[in-house]
Amino acid sequence: MALPHCRHFLLIHLIILSATSLASPQEQETPVTRFQQYLRINTAHPQPDYASAVSFLISQAQSIGLQYRTLEFSPGKPLLLLTWLGSNPSLPSLLFNSHLDSVPAEPSKWLHPPFSAVRTPDGKIFARGAQDDKCIGMQYIEAIRNLKNKNFAPARTIHVSYVPEEEIGGLHGAAKFVHSVDFENLNVGFVLDEGQASPDDEFRVFYADRSPWGLKIKANGPPGHGSRMYDNSAMENLMKSLEVISRFRESQFDVVKAGKAANSEVISVNPVYVKAGVTSDTGFAMNVQPSEAEAGFDLRLPPTANPEEMKRRIAKEWVPAIRNMSYEIIEKGPIRDYTGRPLMTLTNASNSWWLVFEQAITFAGGKLAKPEILSSTTDARYIRQTGIPVLGFSPMSNTPILLHDHNEHLRDTVYLKGIKVYESVISSLSSFMEA
């Protein structure tokens, strides 16, 4: 009897997945080959294969005796939660977070296919997600595997989360997760999320993210012949705004170039599109002045910035209504917690979690660079909004920063060293009794 269409598709899918993941017995035996298997699952937007990724991770959890459950706050966007119960579950738990999804890749620009996870003779593993951030997703599991093999027993319960949609804002993943009863019931006391690679021998650690805004500005003016000189034409008004915004951008960049602040500590403003003109079958009509002109900008605000002051600047200086202009700000996540404080995690002696984390890195033979604000944005901002301390950390030293870049890769020795670092971090944090 013929299978129904959906069951037939599922059967084919499982066969293909099995053939991929079980290519040879050897591939099941090393941390590196398991990492390669995870990388070969295409979770890039716009059609991330979440189902295969979750299925693979569940198989890994089962192999080391971890509890697991799948949550779905939006249809088709699963969130996987793994749990290692501690001996004292009344203590606040630990959460190690990573995301399932990846950004798209342009195969023609890569040395190796971006989802082949080719390992070259010098140990470089090429794949989309190798640094951002499937590495830590597997390192968590491998570190727990090693600790279990050593009969280590955590006092605190350890949770590992794999969330969807981080690369497109996290609104259907972490944002909903942290506001759920499921998250509240975890009783989380401290969180580690993703960080970035470090080109030198120190590990980078991040205590805050910049908050992303999308800004659209629109100018209106009289349309007419290209030869006429209008006051307040749409393009003239848009260009005036572009000049003002450019000067602000230069003022922020000057601070960075003078060495007075890091790039992540200033407000960055970058134009991403301009849209104007009247078109015909032959292209733009060069003798017609358009009645509308629009531009878009990517803004990143550090937690030290005043968002209300930024909004006032936009309204009064950048896009004044007196010039027939309007604007829209798309705030992509919080910049303050529920008490109005900046979303920052303390990295000094007043934060006992920080002291334990710092000591664990030293025990593992690593060195930490000066804590910094992440110039981009992660799901950590949603967790920090609840008041829970979060650090961004990915143990990749002596590694070029290649997230979202062509030929993203990670060296196998760096990956393996990261597992040892997480062994130290997980054992130290889960044995800490005072917080």
What pLDDT is recorded for position 28?
61
pLDDT tens, N- to C-terminus, the chain (435 residues): 333 333 333 433 443 344 344 444 445 689 999 999 999 999 999 999 999 999 999 999 999 999 999 999 999 999 999 999 999 999 999 999 999 999 999 999 999 999 999 999 999 999 999 999 999 999 999 999 999 999 999 999 999 999 999 999 999 999 999 999 999 999 999 999 999 999 999 999 999 999 999 999 999 988 877 777 877 899 999 999 999 999 999 999 999 999 999 999 999 999 999 999 888 777 888 888 899 999 999 999 999 999 999 999 999 999 999 999 999 999 988 888 888 899 999 999 999 999 999 999 999 999 999 999 999 999 999 999 999 999 999 999 999 999 999 999 999 999 999 999 999 999 999 999 986
Q: Residue 9's pLDDT is what?
A: 34
SS (H, E, C) the chain: CCCCHHHHHHHHHHHHHHHHHCCCHHHHCCHHHHHHHHHCCCCECCCCCHHHHHHHHHHHHHHCCCEEEEEECCCCCEEEEEEECCCCCCCCEEEEEEECCECCCCHHHCCCCCCCCEECCCCEEECCCCCCCHHHHHHHHHHHHHHHHCCCCCCCCEEEEEECCHHHCCCCCHHHHCCCHHHHHHCEEEEEECCCCCCCCCECEEEEECEEEEEEEEEECCCEECCCCCCCCHHHHHHHHHHHHHHHHHHHHHHHHCCCCCHHHCCEEEEEEEEECCEECCEECCCEECCEEEEEEEEEECCCCCHHHHHHHHHHHHCCHHHCEEEEEEECCCCECCCCCECCCCCCCCCHHHHHHHHHHHHCCCCECCCEEECCCCCHHHHHCCCCCEEEECCCCCCCCCCCCCCCEEEHHHHHHHHHHHHHHHHHHHHCCCC
The CATH number of domain 25-209+342-431 is 3.40.630.10: yes
Catalytic-role residue among 132, 142, 165, 166: 166
211-301+305-331: what fold?
Alpha-Beta Plaits (3.30.70)
Same fold, 25-209+342-431 and 211-301+305-331: no
Is-catalytic flag, 167?
no
Domain segments of the chain as ranges = 25-209+342-431, 211-301+305-331
From the candidates 101, 165, 194, 209, which is the catalytic residue?
101
Per-residue model confidence (pLDDT) at position 280 = 76
The reported pLDDT for the residue numbered 14 is: 44
Q: Answer yes or no: 250 catalytic.
A: no
The pLDDT value recorded for residue 324 is 93
